[in-house]
Structure 1
Amino acid sequence: MHVIERDDVPEITSVVVDGAPHNIGLLKDFHRNPVLQQFVPEVARLSMSWVRLLPGEELSVHQHPTKSMIIIAEGTGRTMGDATTDIRAGDIVVVPPGSLHGFVGTAPTGFWALSVQFEGAGLYEDPDNARVVFDADRLDVELVRSDNQRFMREYENNALVRMIRDLETQSPEVRNRLLDHLQTWSDAFQRVITARIVGEADGPARKLAAEHLAEEIGHNRLLADIRDGREAQWDPVIAAVASWFVDRMTTAPSVERTVLAHLVLEGSGMVFHAAGVDAFASSEYFRLHDGADAEHLEMGYRELAERRDWTPDEVRGVLRQGWQMMELLSDRIAERARAVAVVDHAG
């Protein structure tokens, strides 16, 4: 969700028709703002509705599958959900698909707004089948999903992911060094998911952990098969990150283990292995992970949806820490792989 103030839309005051200038007052075309230009489709089936919220009246946090735009016509209010921002007449609230958002009117009059959708029927066109989700438990999971998807998008720009995506441009030495350090992490990953079972006392969560281990065990041997028998390379940073994950899997609360194992480890693996499939088209290691990681990720969301022993703030904090560790780990593998090229060049 993004709020664009009226002043952020460039203005024009005159146009030229048949060579003659004509005053048009002050006009602010939405397409002259880069965010709105990208958001508003060229061709659409518009649905438009007036919305009114009195002071203190709420449209509670919800989400819907289509993009929406709220244009504040008069009065004041406040957004809720992904972003909390005061809004006033002239503001434009851009709501992407799946964004968690809601509104409350503020004193003295609340606000009137124009709600616009661009894809199919309006959100409330059929009051008995509104195209929105208000359920609190589902919203908690979707809030976590939204955060995790953002972390995954950011991870796509990690040095390691960029390197493996462009591996054909790298020297054989860089390729080998990358795989050797990746092997060190893959071996450690097996210990991480094993430690999760050791530390898990909760029945359903332990069963989930066992299913996860059964699918993952032995995958590190597939990676060894494409490395021509070279030894894995020990590194203090990789070892430290692996130790952190093992510690969390044996001492952290059950829900934290689920978040780290499925949302962080499998989420980052999904991005990484998808990038590596083309570079290692004949490798069963990358092929298996490219399909399995997405299912393992969904396991985590389903587990969260079935539990009630967590809050979004707690889980989002764990999620952030886990992704920071994965960024650190991945940056280190890329750094060690590049170190070969630096040594060769210096020599």
Structure 2
Amino acid sequence: MSAETTTAPSVTTVARDDIRAVTSVRVDGKIHQLGQQRDFRRNGALAEFLPEAGRPSFAWVRLRDGETLAVHRHPTKSMILVCSGSVLLLGTCERELSEGDVVCVPPESDHGFRTRPGEEFHGLSVQFEGAGLYEHELVPRASFGDAGAALAELERLNESLLERHTRNALFALFGTGRLQREPALRARFFAALYVWSVYFQRMLHARQAACTDMRLRAEYGEHLREELGHDRLLLEHHDAGTDAYDTVLEAAGNWFVAQMHQLDEAQKIVLVHMVVESSGHAFGLATSEVFQDKASKGGYFNLHAQADEDHRSIGRAYLRSLPASAFPRLMETCRRAWDQMDLVHERVAAWTMGHER
């Protein structure tokens, strides 16, 4: 009987020039120069050799003689190894890089590269999950654009909708003086407000439970600790009743809780901090004047007037890290959240006035 023999697979070598180069990509209708980018998976032998499980991606990159890869961001972490030459790192952390330096880029962080005239840079770009950044050049995993301008536009929209919000029926009721003069009306107001306050607490707990980003989880946790138990202040300081039931108010409150299980983190920041906390700050300023006798330093209304101003800014750093292309979706989230917040106030006013049916 003859023994079976097996032949070990032969070693394969691939020259850098045998990996097809991409020099530019089209993103949001604009052409962006890459210098030269050679993703390993664009070569058949390398694509077959690289594992799919875990799926790391590798690409040679080159810039020379003053070429620039404009500041951009991508949805996965990336590592760049400077193999030869030197290059200037652009973006939030600018510094000169030379041979042997390693750059670690978190997801959605602004960065870019530029060589000086007459200089050349060769590097290796590594991603640890999913497709390479330009593996499929028709659908690049990169966003170029001015996120700062997009965030400013979102903030302008938010302020305009906040201004509209302060003209709703509840703020109009605050201006009449009736809540100070009529105990029965005031009692109905506290009962309806307690319903919304409970839903607000449930919203923050749901967001905390669903968050998987550890940095945001810590920031959200601090916010939750500062807001914890504010609904009880209405019971302890204002004898709020717990018998108010309005189907529309219940539906609106549940909508906010449900969004914590449906939206991404950027959308949640817009909903909770740009919309709900902005509403809470305006509400606190108005009601701390109405209920001066109850607005002690730790009182429900004074807390909203003071703390919610700081709470409005939570998550802004996260929003600034996003590509400009993410903001049209956030603008729509902002509009929908304000529509719901307006509805909450309208129903609190309707219950207070006995017009809930």
User: 1:212-263 deviations in whole A, cap 9, x for unaligned?
Assistant: 1111001111122233263241221111111111111012111111111101
Show the 5 A alignment for 1:91-130: none
Residue 301 in structure 1 maps to residue 328 in structure 2? no
Q: Distance in 1 between matches of 2:240 and 2:248?
A: 23
Q: Which amino acid aligns with 1:211?
A: E
Instruction: Report the Cα offset of residue 299 of structure 1.
Output: 1.3
Instruction: Report the Cα offset of residue 303 of structure 1.
Output: 3.1
Contact 1:198–1:250 (8 Å) recurs in 2: no
Instruction: Tell me the SS of whatever aligns to 2:290.
Output: coil
Alpha carbons of structure 1 residues 331 and 196: separation in structure 2 relative to 1, 3 Å: same
Q: Distance in 1 between matches of 2:240 and 2:303?
A: 21
The number of residue pairs the alignment matches comes to 208
Query: Comparing 288-297 with 303-312, which one deviates more in the overlay?
Result: 303-312
Q: Which has the higher helix share?
A: 1
Q: Distance in 2 between matches of 1:295 and 1:178?
A: 26
Instruction: Report the Cα offset of residue 136 of structure 1.
Output: 1.8
Query: Percent of pairs identical after alignment?
Result: 29
Q: Distance in 2 between matches of 1:238 and 1:162?
A: 19
Residue 324 in structure 1 maps to residue 339 in structure 2? yes
Q: What residue is the counterpart of 1:334 in the other structure?
A: 349
Show the 5 A alignment for 1:1-347: 136-168=146-178, 171-228=182-239, 230-281=241-292, 282-283=294-295, 284-308=299-323, 311-339=326-354
Q: Distance in 1 between matches of 2:313 and 2:228?
A: 19
Alpha carbons of structure 1 residues 310 and 242: separation in structure 2 relative to 1, 3 Å: farther
Contact 2:147–2:324 (8 Å) recurs in 1: no
Instruction: Tell me the SS of whatever aligns to 1:250.
Output: coil
| Structure 1 length-normalised TM | 0.56
Q: Which amino acid aligns with 1:262?
A: H
Q: What residue is the counterpart of 1:130 in the other structure?
A: none
Instruction: Report the Cα offset of residue 180 of structure 1.
Output: 0.6
Instruction: Report the Cα offset of residue 310 of structure 1.
Output: 6.1
Instruction: Tell me the SS of whatever aligns to 1:299.
Output: coil
User: 1:300-324 deviations in whole A, cap 9, x for unaligned?
Assistant: 4333123449622110000000000
Contact 1:192–1:249 (8 Å) recurs in 2: yes
Alpha carbons of structure 1 residues 260 and 229: separation in structure 2 relative to 1, 3 Å: closer
Alpha carbons of structure 1 residues 190 and 228: separation in structure 2 relative to 1, 3 Å: same
Q: Distance in 1 between matches of 2:318 and 2:177?
A: 36
Alpha carbons of structure 1 residues 230 and 247: separation in structure 2 relative to 1, 3 Å: closer
* Structure 1 outlier segments of 4+, above 4 Å: none
Contact 2:146–2:324 (8 Å) recurs in 1: no
Alpha carbons of structure 1 residues 192 and 210: separation in structure 2 relative to 1, 3 Å: same
User: 1:33-60 deviations in whole A, cap 9, x for unaligned?
Assistant: xxxxxxxxxxxxxxxxxxxxxxxxxxxx
Q: Distance in 1 between matches of 2:147 and 2:288?
A: 36
Unmatched tracts of structure 1, length 5 or more:
1-134
Q: Distance in 2 between matches of 1:164 and 1:199?
A: 36
Higher-Rg member (1/2): 2
User: 1:142-161 deviations in whole A, cap 9, x for unaligned?
Assistant: 11110000011111101112
Unmatched tracts of structure 2, length 5 or more:
1-144
Contact 2:190–2:238 (8 Å) recurs in 1: yes
Instruction: Tell me the SS of whatever aligns to 1:278.
Output: helix
Alpha carbons of structure 1 residues 229 and 316: separation in structure 2 relative to 1, 3 Å: closer
